[in-house]
């Protein structure tokens, strides 16, 4: 709705607190940041304060804020057809699916569209269970797969605990060398021992009862933990050995975030199903989906798939997908993420780690990085919540919008970020860390 009256930050904040119920929050303690609009990598509030967005919101605005080609495509689609049921055929939906399949690895054929990443994972798990006739889903303790019924139980972190109503979920430890569960001293040991651990979980749960292994290509919310060389191929081999479906969750890591269209391309592995959302259209209109391999398409050719959503393939979301993918290709945005992310950003973050003892670990790819902060490097003691709050406040006061999770700063700017913006953010991180 167009702005009908002049408002300031205070007006918006007070209205929010009166009428809006916030996610993952104690409602009486919520103090939301007020935002009016944005452009590119920047946002601003109603009082004119500007923020350099190094959170990409929830790591989804890969193409940046208010990209003119995507905004224009949404407007143009609204003039033609604002909504249509998913059972119909529609040219914009066809074009979105075609573009996604063209980007996927060989052997993928169709797209099942959803509203977001959580229901993408839900439906991928459903497909795997129907295809195998098995029930259990294996996923990592260090993961986040969404907040719907099965997706939140597939999630490994604390958000699962008050929501465990879905059945058939088993968790295991994926690689994380900095805080190894396997007494590993290098990536090779971490890889080998993590794969042996997964094998024992499969054997102990009963291979014939396991439908799928669900893994984020790079765990995002859990800490941007890039798997060691060979791990993903090893998981693929275990799935093949035991007849288990491999689902790779690309919701956060896909569509340019790691400097490749899909993060799985960093690991030379092809799963059976791929889930996506977020970066596919930068969240301009909610959309997600499952990229379905040919063998799954063949299976459901003569069997009903018992799943669907009212807004599956919503025309406005599809128009945003088409425009986003086309703009990312034309403007070489994925290449930019690789160039600046693995260049000036990676080098700058490592330089910060050399300067500040509070940085225990630096890890990432492209524009998908995390700084893990500790109060004692030798003991790897996580930095306190109070200190993390101090850091966040310092960065906001300097005009940087950070992504702070537990004892980490996730460095996740839009894929369009320029070198000068990275240097600006690095200076803010440096000053904030120095304040500790």
Return the exposure string of 114-144: e unless at least 16 CB atoms fall within 10 Å of the residue's CB, then b.
bbbbbbbbbbbbbbbbbbbebebbbbbbbbb
Of 280, 295, 330, the residue that ends a domain is 330
Q: Is residue 46 domain-shared with residue 162, that is, in the same domain?
A: no
pLDDT tens-digit series, residues 11-35: 999 999 999 999 999 999 999 999 9
Mean pLDDT by 10 residues, the chain (436 residues): 74 97 95 97 97 98 98 98 98 98 98 98 98 98 96 95 95 98 98 98 98 98 98 98 98 98 97 98 98 98 96 98 98 98 98 98 98 98 98 98 98 98 98 96
Q: Is residue 31 domain-shared with residue 103, that is, in the same domain?
A: no
% residues pLDDT > 70 (the chain):
99
CATH number at residue 291: 3.40.640.10
Tell me the whole-structure pTM to 2 decimals.
0.97
Q: Is residue 301 domain-shared with residue 401, that is, in the same domain?
A: no
Which conformational region is residue 303 in: left (phi greater than 0), alpha (psi within -120 to 50 degrees), or beta?
beta
4: in domain: no
- Tell me how far apart the alpha carbons of residues 354 and 236 are, in angstroms, rounded to a whole number: 36
Bridge partner residues of 273 (DSSP): 247, 292
Q: Is residue 194 domain-shared with residue 237, that is, in the same domain?
A: yes
Q: Is residue 198 domain-shared with residue 143, that is, in the same domain?
A: yes
* Token duo for residue 374: 């500790």
For residue 395, the enclosing domain spans: 9-66+332-434
Bridge partner residues of 111 (DSSP): 291
* pLDDT value at residue 4: 54
């Amino acid at each position: 709705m167009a702005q009908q009256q002049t408002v300031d930050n205070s007006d918006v904040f007070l209205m929010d607190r009166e009428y809006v119920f916030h996610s993952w929050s104690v409602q009486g303690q919520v103090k939301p940041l007020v935002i009016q609009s944005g452009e590119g990598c920047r946002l601003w509030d109603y009082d004119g304060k500007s923020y350099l967005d190094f959170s990409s919101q929830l790591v989804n605005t890969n193409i940046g804020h208010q990209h003119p080609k995507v905004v224009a495509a949404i407007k143009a689609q609204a003039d033609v057809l604002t909504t249509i049921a998913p059972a119909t055929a529609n040219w914009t939906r066809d074009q979105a699916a075609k573009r996604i399949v063209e980007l996927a690895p060989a052997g993928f054929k169709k797209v099942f569209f959803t509203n977001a990443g959580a229901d993408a994972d839900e439906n991928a798990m459903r497909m795997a269970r129907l295809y195998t006739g098995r029930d259990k889903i294996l996923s990592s303790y260090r993961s986040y797969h969404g907040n719907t019924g099965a997706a939140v139980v597939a999630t490994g972190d604390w958000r699962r605990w008050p929501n465990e109503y879905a059945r058939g979920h088993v968790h295991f430890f994926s690689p994380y060398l900095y805080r190894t569960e396997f007494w590993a001293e290098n990536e090779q040991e971490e890889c080998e021992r993590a794969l042996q651990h997964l094998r024992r979980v499969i054997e102990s749960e009963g291979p014939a009862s396991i439908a799928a292994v669900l893994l984020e290509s790079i765990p995002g919310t859990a800490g941007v933990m890039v798997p060691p060389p060979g791990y993903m191929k090893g998981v693929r081999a275990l799935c093949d050995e035991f007849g288990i479906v491999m689902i790779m969750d690309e919701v956060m890591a896909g569509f340019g975030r790691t400097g490749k269209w899909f993060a799985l391309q960093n690991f030379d592995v092809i799963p059976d199903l791929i889930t996506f959302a977020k970066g596919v259209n930068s969240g301009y209109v909610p959309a997600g989906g499952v990229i379905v391999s040919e063998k799954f398409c063949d299976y459901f050719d003569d069997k009903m798939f018992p799943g669907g959503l009212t807004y599956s393939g919503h025309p406005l979301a599809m128009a945003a997908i088409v425009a986003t993918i086309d703009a990312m290709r034309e403007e070489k945005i994925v290449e930019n993420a690789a160039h600046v992310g693995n260049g000036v950003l990676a080098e700058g973050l490592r330089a910060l780690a050399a300067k500040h003892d509070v940085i225990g670990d630096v890890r990432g790819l492209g524009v998908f990085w995390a700084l893990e902060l500790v109060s004692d490097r030798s003991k790897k003691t996580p930095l306190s919540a109070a200190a993390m709050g101090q850091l966040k406040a310092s960065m906001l006061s300097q005009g940087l919008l950070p992504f702070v999770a537990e004892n980490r700063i996730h460095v996740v700017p839009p894929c369009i970020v320029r070198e000068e913006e990275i240097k600006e953010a690095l200076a803010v991180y440096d000053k904030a860390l120095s304040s500790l």
